[in-house]
Amino acid sequence: MMARPLTAKKHNTDQPKEPKPQRRTIWHVYKAVPPRFRILLGMGFMGFSMVGMWASDKIETMYPPPVENRVTHITHGSAAQSEDPSKRDKPDSH
């Protein structure tokens, strides 16, 4: 009896290939979430932000900045530091 030669199995090419999954943007993922969960997620982010702002204010009152870094007067959007004015950088006069 003669042995059969080893051959690779043929894949069935009659069946259509599955399409590759499309990459979804974060907006599509967000829109796929149920509306109630989106509302809760938004409220969670707002709550987290409020707690962070509250905590930063509490920490700032517990540990105030050094005197040399405190803002003493604000004029036209620029902060004048409570330091010796003679030590400030002077603009070049060309």
Q: Specify the DSSP element, H or E, that contains 57.
A: helix 35-62
Q: Which residue carries 């517990």 as its tokens?
A: 62
Tens digits of residue pLDDT in 72-87: 666 665 545 445 555 5
Q: Which residue carries 């050094």 as its tokens?
A: 66
Model's pTM, two decimal places? 0.46
Please give the single-letter amino acid code of residue 89: D
| pLDDT tier for residue 17 given thresholds of 50, 70 and 90 | confident
Three-class secondary structure of residue 15 per DSSP: coil
Tens digits of residue pLDDT in 42-67: 999 999 999 999 999 999 899 887 77
Q: From CA 49, how far away is CA 43, in angstroms rounded?
A: 10
Residue 22 is predicted with a pLDDT of 81
